[in-house]
Amino acid sequence: MEKKGLHAAILSAILFGMAPVACKAIVGQMPAALLAGLLYLGSGLGLAGVVLRQTPRFYVILSSLSRRQWGYLAGAIVSGGVAAPLFLAFGIRSGTATEVSLLLNFETVATTLLAWLIFHEHVGYRVWIGKVLIVGASLVIVLTGSAGVRLSIPGLSVLVACLLWGIDNNLTRELESLPASLLACVKGLSAGVFNVLLSLILFSGPVTPLQVTATLMIGALSFGASLVLFIHALREIGSARTSTWFASGPFIGTLLSVIVLGERPPGGYWLAALVMLSGMFFLYGEMHRHLHRHERLAHSHPHEHDEHHRHEHDDGRDKGAHDHFHVHEPLTHSHVHWPDIHHRHRH
């Protein structure tokens, strides 16, 4: 497994896992739509400076997108930037931070299932076993109560958010020509402005300047920086594996909800957490290798000189990580690989 993709997925998960606890601590009576909008607006604003510094001609890149790619981008913004945060914000306001944190693991199930169904991404038996365990644990959390079985509406809201993010993740992986920071910035600003305006028009509630500032900062870290890292991981190790490693984040949120907020989850929650954690371990050691053929391909993306990038530069030096237009000649070989930017073949 590519180490860079793995590390990016785990760091992304940690930043995202902190969000429910941080939001629960400051949200008060803030409308769910405003909370969702400020989180993504903070994400977009935080990345705007990075985009202007790293990609000053970003408008050229955006104008070069095909109609199909604009469709993917619009779908990702609507599903993952507008709708999903609304459901998550409702879950944060109405449920406990522990419940929200643990149920965020369901995003890995939705992402993997859609990657398998729509894009025919290879998913091994270890991953499937892990997903089944996560589904079972999610049901324990949603169907829980001291006086018998009840249905948790905040919990269901989080599950819907995860399903929408699963759609977003699989659409995002098809936008490989966009720099990760630019993609995250566009999604954050577009979705953030929409939900903030929606809240101002339809909802009202007491909000302080401190709450607004804190929410924007949470968005910059937990949704901005985290999303950039997540996109990098998607391109390195594919949707199914990125989402599985991303599942480590909610456990951070669960521990913080106990330590920082003083929540005392029922025993069933801890059992569910152990089941989810065991599901993650099934991914460890998974290998995918077979003889495959790369057709001729010409494109531009960040890369290093590995076995798929043998080209030379005019000065004859290995530039390390860099980005330029290059051509891949046809190649047939076998090696351990994941569904990254150069391995989108079907099974």
Q: What is the pLDDT of residues 165-177, one digit of tens each?
A: 999 988 887 787 7
Q: Which of residues 180 and 293 earns the better pLDDT score?
A: 180
Q: What is the pLDDT of residue 208?
A: 92
In tens, the pLDDT along 145-196 reads 544 557 889 999 999 999 999 999 888 877 877 888 899 899 999 999 999 9
Q: Give the number of other CB atoms < 10 A from CB of residue 75.
A: 16
The b/e string for 167-205 (b: 16+ C-beta within 10 A; e otherwise) is bbbbbbbbbbebbbbbbbbbbbbbbbebbbebbeeeeee
Is this prediction's pTM over 0.85?
Answer: no
**The pLDDT of residue 279 is above 90:** no
Q: Minimum mean pLDDT among 45-59, 110-124, 321-335: which range?
A: 321-335
**The pLDDT of residue 219 is above 80:** yes
Report the distance separating Cα 207 and Cα 199, nearest Å.
12
Give the pairing of strands 297-303 and 331-336: unpaired
**pLDDT band of 241, cuts 50, 70, 90:** confident
**pLDDT band of 288, cuts 50, 70, 90:** very low
CB 165, CB 242: distance < 8 Å? no
**The pLDDT of residue 340 is above 60:** no
Residue ranges of domains in the chain: 3-289
In tens, the pLDDT along 25-78 reads 988 889 999 999 999 999 999 999 889 988 888 888 888 888 999 999 999 999
What tokens were used for 158? Answer: 């989080």
Average pLDDT over residues 87-106: 90
Average pLDDT over residues 14-29: 89
Q: Give the number of other CB atoms < 10 A from CB of residue 72.
A: 18
- Give percent of the chain with pLDDT exceeding 70: 77
Q: What is the pLDDT of residue 114?
A: 86
202-206-211 Cα angle (round to 5):
105
CB 267, CB 98: distance < 8 Å? no
